[in-house]
Amino acid sequence: MLIGVPKEIKNHEYRVGLTPAGVRELTSAGHQLLIEHDAGQAIGLSDENYQQAGAEIAASAVEIYGRGELIVKVKEPQPEERRLLRPEQLLFTYLHLAPDFEQTRDLVNSGAVCIAYETVTGANGGLPLLAPMSEVAGRMAIQAGAHALEKTQGGMGMLLGGVPGVAPASVVVLGGGVVGLNAARMAMGLGADVTIVDKSLPRLKLLDEQFGPQLKTLYATTEMIERVVLRADMVIGAVLLPGAKAPKLIDRALLKQMKTGAVLIDVSIDQGGCFESSRPTTHDKPTYQEEGIIHYCVANMPGAVARTSTFALTNATLPFVMALADKGYRQALLDDRHLMNGLNVCRGQVTFKAVAEAHGYPYVSSESVLR
Protein backbone atom coordinates (compact mmCIF):
# COMPACT_ATOMS: atom_id res chain seq x y z
CA MET A 1 0.00 0.00 0.00
CA LEU A 2 1.15 3.57 -0.68
CA ILE A 3 1.17 5.42 2.64
CA GLY A 4 1.38 9.21 2.68
CA VAL A 5 2.58 11.32 5.62
CA PRO A 6 1.96 15.06 5.18
CA LYS A 7 3.60 17.87 7.11
CA GLU A 8 1.34 19.09 9.91
CA ILE A 9 0.05 22.63 9.41
CA LYS A 10 -1.88 23.39 12.60
CA ASN A 11 -0.50 26.32 14.65
CA HIS A 12 2.88 25.34 16.15
CA GLU A 13 2.32 21.67 15.37
CA TYR A 14 5.70 20.05 14.81
CA ARG A 15 4.81 16.40 15.32
CA VAL A 16 4.83 14.04 12.35
CA GLY A 17 2.74 10.95 11.69
CA LEU A 18 5.61 8.44 11.49
CA THR A 19 9.25 8.34 12.58
CA PRO A 20 11.96 7.00 10.25
CA ALA A 21 12.00 3.82 12.35
CA GLY A 22 8.29 3.37 11.70
CA VAL A 23 8.86 3.97 8.00
CA ARG A 24 11.58 1.33 7.94
CA GLU A 25 9.24 -1.26 9.47
CA LEU A 26 6.60 -0.52 6.85
CA THR A 27 8.95 -0.49 3.87
CA SER A 28 10.51 -3.76 5.09
CA ALA A 29 7.01 -5.23 4.93
CA GLY A 30 6.73 -4.20 1.28
CA HIS A 31 4.80 -0.94 1.55
CA GLN A 32 5.63 2.36 -0.14
CA LEU A 33 6.07 5.48 1.99
CA LEU A 34 5.66 9.02 0.74
CA ILE A 35 6.79 11.71 3.19
CA GLU A 36 6.23 15.41 2.57
CA HIS A 37 9.37 17.52 2.31
CA ASP A 38 10.58 18.72 5.74
CA ALA A 39 7.71 16.96 7.54
CA GLY A 40 9.98 16.12 10.48
CA GLN A 41 12.67 18.75 10.08
CA ALA A 42 11.57 20.81 13.10
CA ILE A 43 12.21 17.88 15.46
CA GLY A 44 15.48 16.73 13.95
CA LEU A 45 14.08 14.14 11.50
CA SER A 46 15.50 15.09 8.12
CA ASP A 47 14.37 14.09 4.65
CA GLU A 48 17.63 12.11 4.45
CA ASN A 49 16.64 10.14 7.57
CA TYR A 50 13.36 9.18 5.90
CA GLN A 51 15.03 8.34 2.59
CA GLN A 52 17.52 6.08 4.36
CA ALA A 53 14.52 4.29 5.90
CA GLY A 54 13.13 3.69 2.41
CA ALA A 55 10.70 6.58 1.92
CA GLU A 56 10.20 8.78 -1.11
CA ILE A 57 10.07 12.53 -0.46
CA ALA A 58 7.10 14.45 -1.89
CA ALA A 59 7.27 18.13 -2.73
CA SER A 60 3.84 19.06 -1.38
CA ALA A 61 0.73 18.00 0.49
CA VAL A 62 -1.12 17.99 -2.83
CA GLU A 63 1.15 15.16 -3.98
CA ILE A 64 0.72 13.28 -0.69
CA TYR A 65 -3.08 13.39 -0.85
CA GLY A 66 -3.13 12.87 -4.61
CA ARG A 67 -1.11 9.66 -4.49
CA GLY A 68 -1.53 8.22 -1.02
CA GLU A 69 -3.96 5.38 -0.39
CA LEU A 70 -3.55 5.67 3.38
CA ILE A 71 -2.86 9.06 4.96
CA VAL A 72 -1.22 8.93 8.39
CA LYS A 73 -1.29 12.19 10.34
CA VAL A 74 -1.24 13.54 13.87
CA LYS A 75 -3.83 16.31 14.11
CA GLU A 76 -7.23 16.61 12.48
CA PRO A 77 -7.05 17.70 8.83
CA GLN A 78 -7.37 21.45 8.44
CA PRO A 79 -9.90 22.88 5.89
CA GLU A 80 -7.34 23.06 3.08
CA GLU A 81 -6.34 19.45 3.74
CA ARG A 82 -9.92 18.21 3.87
CA ARG A 83 -10.46 19.56 0.37
CA LEU A 84 -7.73 17.20 -0.85
CA LEU A 85 -9.32 14.01 0.49
CA ARG A 86 -10.71 11.54 -2.06
CA PRO A 87 -13.54 9.00 -1.93
CA GLU A 88 -12.38 5.67 -0.44
CA GLN A 89 -9.07 7.24 0.68
CA LEU A 90 -8.12 6.08 4.17
CA LEU A 91 -7.34 8.71 6.83
CA PHE A 92 -5.79 7.66 10.15
CA THR A 93 -5.26 10.47 12.68
CA TYR A 94 -6.74 12.26 15.69
CA LEU A 95 -10.12 13.70 14.68
CA HIS A 96 -12.09 14.82 17.79
CA LEU A 97 -15.27 15.22 15.73
CA ALA A 98 -17.97 15.61 18.41
CA PRO A 99 -17.34 19.34 19.01
CA ASP A 100 -16.42 20.09 15.37
CA PHE A 101 -19.35 20.21 12.95
CA GLU A 102 -17.40 21.72 10.05
CA GLN A 103 -14.80 18.97 10.06
CA THR A 104 -17.45 16.28 10.39
CA ARG A 105 -19.39 17.73 7.46
CA ASP A 106 -16.28 17.93 5.28
CA LEU A 107 -15.20 14.37 6.06
CA VAL A 108 -18.70 13.08 5.31
CA ASN A 109 -18.74 14.97 2.02
CA SER A 110 -15.25 13.73 1.07
CA GLY A 111 -16.33 10.08 0.90
CA ALA A 112 -13.10 9.12 2.69
CA VAL A 113 -12.74 6.39 5.31
CA CYS A 114 -11.74 8.15 8.54
CA ILE A 115 -10.37 6.32 11.58
CA ALA A 116 -9.79 8.36 14.74
CA TYR A 117 -6.88 7.50 17.01
CA GLU A 118 -8.82 8.67 20.06
CA THR A 119 -11.62 6.11 19.75
CA VAL A 120 -9.54 3.01 18.98
CA THR A 121 -9.93 0.81 22.05
CA GLY A 122 -7.65 -1.67 23.79
CA ALA A 123 -8.15 -5.17 25.11
CA ASN A 124 -8.04 -3.83 28.69
CA GLY A 125 -10.72 -1.23 27.99
CA GLY A 126 -8.29 1.65 27.54
CA LEU A 127 -7.58 3.94 24.58
CA PRO A 128 -4.09 2.90 23.45
CA LEU A 129 -3.62 5.57 20.78
CA LEU A 130 -4.83 8.38 23.01
CA ALA A 131 -2.84 7.23 26.05
CA PRO A 132 0.66 8.36 24.98
CA MET A 133 -0.51 11.88 24.19
CA SER A 134 -2.59 11.92 27.36
CA GLU A 135 0.55 11.06 29.31
CA VAL A 136 2.37 13.96 27.67
CA ALA A 137 -0.54 16.39 28.11
CA GLY A 138 -1.02 15.47 31.76
CA ARG A 139 2.61 16.15 32.56
CA MET A 140 2.67 19.31 30.47
CA ALA A 141 -0.46 20.62 32.18
CA ILE A 142 1.43 21.07 35.42
CA GLN A 143 4.36 22.78 33.69
CA ALA A 144 1.98 25.16 31.93
CA GLY A 145 -0.05 25.74 35.08
CA ALA A 146 2.99 26.46 37.21
CA HIS A 147 4.11 29.07 34.69
CA ALA A 148 0.63 30.61 34.49
CA LEU A 149 0.52 30.95 38.30
CA GLU A 150 3.43 33.40 38.12
CA LYS A 151 2.38 37.01 38.66
CA THR A 152 3.99 38.14 35.40
CA GLN A 153 1.65 35.74 33.57
CA GLY A 154 -1.46 37.06 35.32
CA GLY A 155 -1.57 34.43 38.05
CA MET A 156 -1.66 34.97 41.78
CA GLY A 157 2.12 34.74 42.12
CA MET A 158 2.48 31.30 43.71
CA LEU A 159 5.29 28.78 43.60
CA LEU A 160 3.65 25.42 43.08
CA GLY A 161 5.57 23.60 45.79
CA GLY A 162 5.90 26.50 48.21
CA VAL A 163 9.04 26.81 50.36
CA PRO A 164 9.76 25.95 54.01
CA GLY A 165 7.32 27.93 56.11
CA VAL A 166 5.01 28.73 53.15
CA ALA A 167 2.19 26.44 52.03
CA PRO A 168 2.27 24.88 48.55
CA ALA A 169 -0.38 25.52 45.92
CA SER A 170 -3.59 23.51 45.96
CA VAL A 171 -4.00 21.55 42.72
CA VAL A 172 -7.32 19.90 41.89
CA VAL A 173 -7.44 17.35 39.07
CA LEU A 174 -10.90 16.63 37.65
CA GLY A 175 -10.63 13.10 36.26
CA GLY A 176 -8.47 10.20 37.36
CA GLY A 177 -7.64 8.69 33.97
CA VAL A 178 -4.33 8.81 32.12
CA VAL A 179 -4.20 12.62 31.95
CA GLY A 180 -5.23 13.01 35.58
CA LEU A 181 -2.78 10.41 36.84
CA ASN A 182 0.15 12.00 35.03
CA ALA A 183 -0.84 15.50 36.10
CA ALA A 184 -1.10 14.38 39.71
CA ARG A 185 2.30 12.67 39.59
CA MET A 186 3.97 15.80 38.24
CA ALA A 187 2.23 18.11 40.71
CA MET A 188 3.11 15.90 43.67
CA GLY A 189 6.69 15.68 42.44
CA LEU A 190 6.89 19.47 42.60
CA GLY A 191 5.51 19.48 46.12
CA ALA A 192 1.95 20.69 45.49
CA ASP A 193 -1.08 19.71 47.61
CA VAL A 194 -2.96 17.48 45.12
CA THR A 195 -6.54 16.22 45.01
CA ILE A 196 -8.06 13.99 42.31
CA VAL A 197 -11.83 13.93 41.82
CA ASP A 198 -13.41 11.09 39.84
CA LYS A 199 -16.72 9.20 39.53
CA SER A 200 -15.12 5.75 39.58
CA LEU A 201 -14.66 4.35 43.07
CA PRO A 202 -12.44 1.49 41.79
CA ARG A 203 -10.21 4.06 40.09
CA LEU A 204 -10.02 6.18 43.25
CA LYS A 205 -9.15 3.07 45.26
CA LEU A 206 -6.37 2.19 42.83
CA LEU A 207 -4.94 5.72 43.01
CA ASP A 208 -5.13 5.67 46.80
CA GLU A 209 -3.27 2.36 46.93
CA GLN A 210 -0.65 3.67 44.50
CA PHE A 211 0.10 7.00 46.17
CA GLY A 212 -1.17 6.68 49.73
CA PRO A 213 -1.81 9.81 51.80
CA GLN A 214 0.30 11.98 49.50
CA LEU A 215 -2.69 12.12 47.13
CA LYS A 216 -6.21 13.01 48.24
CA THR A 217 -8.99 11.22 46.36
CA LEU A 218 -12.61 12.40 46.33
CA TYR A 219 -15.76 11.04 44.72
CA ALA A 220 -17.17 13.43 42.10
CA THR A 221 -20.47 15.04 43.00
CA THR A 222 -21.57 18.54 42.06
CA GLU A 223 -21.22 19.65 45.67
CA MET A 224 -17.74 18.15 46.05
CA ILE A 225 -16.49 19.67 42.80
CA GLU A 226 -17.74 23.10 43.91
CA ARG A 227 -16.08 22.72 47.31
CA VAL A 228 -12.62 21.77 46.05
CA VAL A 229 -12.63 24.18 43.10
CA LEU A 230 -13.32 27.16 45.36
CA ARG A 231 -10.18 26.50 47.40
CA ALA A 232 -8.01 25.52 44.44
CA ASP A 233 -5.11 27.55 43.08
CA MET A 234 -4.95 25.39 39.94
CA VAL A 235 -7.58 23.12 38.37
CA ILE A 236 -6.71 20.55 35.70
CA GLY A 237 -9.67 19.53 33.51
CA ALA A 238 -8.94 15.91 32.58
CA VAL A 239 -12.35 14.36 31.93
CA LEU A 240 -13.06 12.18 28.91
CA LEU A 241 -16.12 10.57 27.37
CA PRO A 242 -14.55 8.69 24.44
CA GLY A 243 -15.53 10.31 21.16
CA ALA A 244 -18.14 12.57 22.79
CA LYS A 245 -18.23 16.15 24.01
CA ALA A 246 -16.73 16.71 27.44
CA PRO A 247 -19.20 17.53 30.24
CA LYS A 248 -19.07 21.07 31.65
CA LEU A 249 -17.91 20.75 35.25
CA ILE A 250 -17.26 24.42 36.06
CA ASP A 251 -19.92 26.89 34.99
CA ARG A 252 -19.54 30.65 34.94
CA ALA A 253 -21.32 31.09 38.26
CA LEU A 254 -18.72 28.88 39.96
CA LEU A 255 -15.91 30.55 38.02
CA LYS A 256 -16.88 33.93 39.48
CA GLN A 257 -16.43 32.57 43.00
CA MET A 258 -12.93 31.16 42.46
CA LYS A 259 -9.78 32.81 43.75
CA THR A 260 -8.62 35.71 41.59
CA GLY A 261 -5.49 34.66 39.71
CA ALA A 262 -6.23 30.95 39.94
CA VAL A 263 -5.42 28.86 36.86
CA LEU A 264 -7.60 26.50 34.81
CA ILE A 265 -5.88 24.06 32.44
CA ASP A 266 -8.44 22.44 30.13
CA VAL A 267 -6.85 19.30 28.70
CA SER A 268 -10.34 18.27 27.51
CA ILE A 269 -10.46 21.16 25.04
CA ASP A 270 -10.07 18.82 22.03
CA GLN A 271 -13.48 17.42 22.95
CA GLY A 272 -15.07 20.83 23.55
CA GLY A 273 -13.64 21.56 27.00
CA CYS A 274 -14.94 20.81 30.49
CA PHE A 275 -15.25 24.43 31.66
CA GLU A 276 -18.11 26.62 30.41
CA SER A 277 -15.68 29.49 29.85
CA SER A 278 -13.16 27.44 27.81
CA ARG A 279 -12.32 28.23 24.21
CA PRO A 280 -9.45 26.77 22.17
CA THR A 281 -6.16 28.64 22.26
CA THR A 282 -2.84 28.16 20.47
CA HIS A 283 0.78 27.95 21.47
CA ASP A 284 1.15 31.50 20.11
CA LYS A 285 -1.30 32.84 22.68
CA PRO A 286 -2.01 30.02 25.12
CA THR A 287 -3.87 31.87 27.90
CA TYR A 288 -6.65 34.37 28.46
CA GLN A 289 -8.55 35.68 31.47
CA GLU A 290 -12.23 35.27 32.29
CA GLU A 291 -13.63 36.58 35.59
CA GLY A 292 -10.06 37.07 36.86
CA ILE A 293 -9.17 33.39 36.24
CA ILE A 294 -6.31 32.39 33.92
CA HIS A 295 -7.41 29.85 31.28
CA TYR A 296 -4.95 27.66 29.37
CA CYS A 297 -6.80 25.81 26.60
CA VAL A 298 -4.24 24.86 23.95
CA ALA A 299 -5.80 22.22 21.72
CA ASN A 300 -2.53 20.52 20.74
CA MET A 301 -0.51 20.66 23.94
CA PRO A 302 1.85 17.76 23.07
CA GLY A 303 2.90 19.67 19.94
CA ALA A 304 5.13 21.79 22.18
CA VAL A 305 7.25 18.72 22.98
CA ALA A 306 6.93 17.38 19.48
CA ARG A 307 9.95 15.09 19.38
CA THR A 308 8.98 13.15 22.49
CA SER A 309 5.36 13.06 21.35
CA THR A 310 6.15 11.85 17.82
CA PHE A 311 8.21 8.89 19.02
CA ALA A 312 5.60 7.98 21.65
CA LEU A 313 2.78 8.19 19.12
CA THR A 314 4.51 6.10 16.45
CA ASN A 315 5.22 3.41 19.04
CA ALA A 316 1.46 3.17 19.62
CA THR A 317 0.10 3.59 16.10
CA LEU A 318 2.57 1.49 14.10
CA PRO A 319 0.91 -1.93 14.66
CA PHE A 320 -2.42 -0.50 13.50
CA VAL A 321 -0.87 1.23 10.47
CA MET A 322 0.78 -2.07 9.58
CA ALA A 323 -2.53 -3.95 9.84
CA LEU A 324 -4.35 -1.41 7.67
CA ALA A 325 -1.60 -1.50 5.06
CA ASP A 326 -1.24 -5.29 5.06
CA LYS A 327 -4.93 -6.17 4.93
CA GLY A 328 -6.72 -3.12 3.56
CA TYR A 329 -9.13 -1.23 5.79
CA ARG A 330 -12.14 -3.55 5.42
CA GLN A 331 -10.37 -6.71 6.48
CA ALA A 332 -8.26 -4.98 9.11
CA LEU A 333 -11.34 -3.49 10.76
CA LEU A 334 -13.36 -6.70 10.55
CA ASP A 335 -10.47 -8.63 12.10
CA ASP A 336 -10.02 -6.22 15.02
CA ARG A 337 -13.06 -4.88 16.84
CA HIS A 338 -10.84 -2.45 18.76
CA LEU A 339 -9.60 -0.87 15.54
CA MET A 340 -13.17 -0.92 14.24
CA ASN A 341 -14.17 1.26 17.19
CA GLY A 342 -11.93 3.92 15.68
CA LEU A 343 -14.04 4.20 12.53
CA ASN A 344 -15.89 7.53 12.76
CA VAL A 345 -16.81 8.32 9.13
CA CYS A 346 -16.97 5.86 6.26
CA ARG A 347 -17.83 6.74 2.66
CA GLY A 348 -20.27 9.51 3.54
CA GLN A 349 -21.78 7.92 6.65
CA VAL A 350 -21.17 8.63 10.33
CA THR A 351 -20.26 5.41 12.12
CA PHE A 352 -19.60 6.69 15.65
CA LYS A 353 -22.78 7.19 17.66
CA ALA A 354 -21.65 10.14 19.80
CA VAL A 355 -20.54 12.05 16.70
CA ALA A 356 -23.81 11.37 14.88
CA GLU A 357 -25.81 12.53 17.90
CA ALA A 358 -23.70 15.66 18.34
CA HIS A 359 -24.31 16.86 14.78
CA GLY A 360 -27.68 15.39 13.84
CA TYR A 361 -26.40 12.82 11.36
CA PRO A 362 -27.97 9.37 11.05
CA TYR A 363 -25.89 6.79 12.87
CA VAL A 364 -24.84 3.75 10.85
CA SER A 365 -22.96 0.92 12.54
CA SER A 366 -19.42 0.16 11.37
CA GLU A 367 -20.30 -3.46 10.75
CA SER A 368 -23.11 -2.56 8.37
CA VAL A 369 -20.98 -0.28 6.19
CA LEU A 370 -18.11 -2.75 5.99
CA ARG A 371 -19.98 -5.93 5.06
Q: Which residues are catalytic?
A: 96, 270
Please tell me whether residue 112 adopts helix, strand or coil conformation: coil
Q: Are 35 and 50 in contact (CB under 8 A)?
A: yes
Q: Are 149 and 264 in contact (CB under 8 A)?
A: no
DSSP string, 47-96: HHHHHHTTPEEES-HHHHHHH-SEEE-SSPPPHHHHTT--TT-EEEE---
Q: From the CB of residue 210, how many other CB atoms can be counted at a distance below 10 Å?
A: 12
CA atoms within 13 A on the CB side of 264: 35
Q: Which letter does DSSP use for residue 363 in this model?
A: B
Cα-Cα-Cα-Cα torsion 328, 330, 331, 335, nearest 10 degrees, comes to 130
Strands 343-346 and 349-350: antiparallel
Kindly tell me the burial class for residue 342, based on how many C-beta atoms sit within 10 Å of its own C-beta (0-12, 13-18, 19 or more).
buried
Displacement of CA 204 from its chain's centroid (Å): 23
Q: Which letter does DSSP use for residue 154 in this model?
A: T
The angle that helices 201-211 and 178-189 make with each other, rounded to 10 degrees, is: 30
Rounded Cα gap, residues 110 and 113, in angstroms: 9
CA atoms within 13 A on the CB side of 92: 33
Instruction: With CA atoms as reference, report the closest residue to 240 among 130, 357, 365, 129.
Output: 130
Rounded Cα gap, residues 44 and 264, in angstroms: 33
